[in-house]
Amino acid sequence: MVRVMATGVFDILHIGHLDYLRQAKELGDELVVVIARDSRVRRMKHEPVTPEALRRELVDALKPVDRALLGHEGDIYQTVEEVRPDVIALGWDQDFNLEEVEAEVRRRGIPAKVVRLTKMEGDLDGTTKIINKVISLWSIQRQVERVEKTPPEGD
C-alpha cells in the first residue's frame, strides 16, 4: 500500500485543485490531504475566504481523497511524521524546494519520495484567477447599473 500525501490551502476550491489531487492519487493507493491552518494561510498568503474546518470538509468529500486533515500549527513536518507517507506530492506552484523537503523528511526518518506535479492549463484553474474574474465581473455590473440609473441627457 503506497500512501501519498498532498498539501495545500484549498481556499475557493477549483478545477486546478481537483487536477492536483487526481495527479497525486495516481502516485499511490491512498491519498491523505493536509489542509493548511488559517494562521498559516494568513502568514503566507492572504486572509482565508473559507475557514479551515470547511476547507477540510470540502476536500475530504472529493473523490480522489481518502482522508483530509488539518495540518499542525508551527512545525509543518510534524504532520508528515504522523502520516508517514511513501510519496509527498507538491503542487506546481507550491513554494517548497523539492530537495530541501526530501532532505528534511529523511532527517526525520521518513524515506518518502518527493514529487513535483504539473500545472493544469485552464481559464479558472487558480484562486487568484477566480477572484480577479469575480472582481472584474462585479465591476462591469456596477458600471452597467450606474448607466441604467443615469437619466438621459436633456431631461
pLDDT in tens, 5-15: 999 999 888 88
Residue 108 lies in a domain: yes
Q: In Å, what is the CA distance from 61 to each residue of 10, 18, 32, 66, 155?
A: 13, 11, 12, 9, 57
Cell digits for 76? 509543518
Residue 42 lies in a domain: yes
Using one digit for the tens of pLDDT, what is the confidence trace for 27-45? 999 999 999 999 998 988 7
Residue 87 lies in a domain: yes
Rounded Cα distance, 62 and 41, in Å:
21
Reduce the DSSP state of residue 37 to 3 states and report it: coil
Q: 85 phi and psi, to 5 degrees?
A: -75, 155
Residue 21 lies in a domain: yes
Residue numbers of the domain that contains 12 = 3-120
Question: Total structural domains in the chain?
Answer: 1
Residues forming beta bridges with residue 116, ordered by sequence position: 90
* Rg of the chain in Å (alpha carbons): 20
CATH number at residue 67: 3.40.50.620
Residue 154 lies in a domain: no
Burial class (CB in 10 A: 0-12, 13-18, 19+), 19: buried
pLDDT of residue 54: 97
Residue 116 lies in a domain: yes
Starting at the edge strand that comes first in sequence, how are the strands of the sheet with 113-116 ordered?
67-70, 30-35, 3-8, 87-90, 113-116
pLDDT at 123 over 70: no
pTM over 0.75: yes
Residue 131 lies in a domain: no
Residue 33 lies in a domain: yes
Taken in order 20, 25, 27, 31, is the CA torsion positive or negative?
Answer: positive
Report residue 126's pLDDT band, with 50, 70 and 90 as the boundaries: low
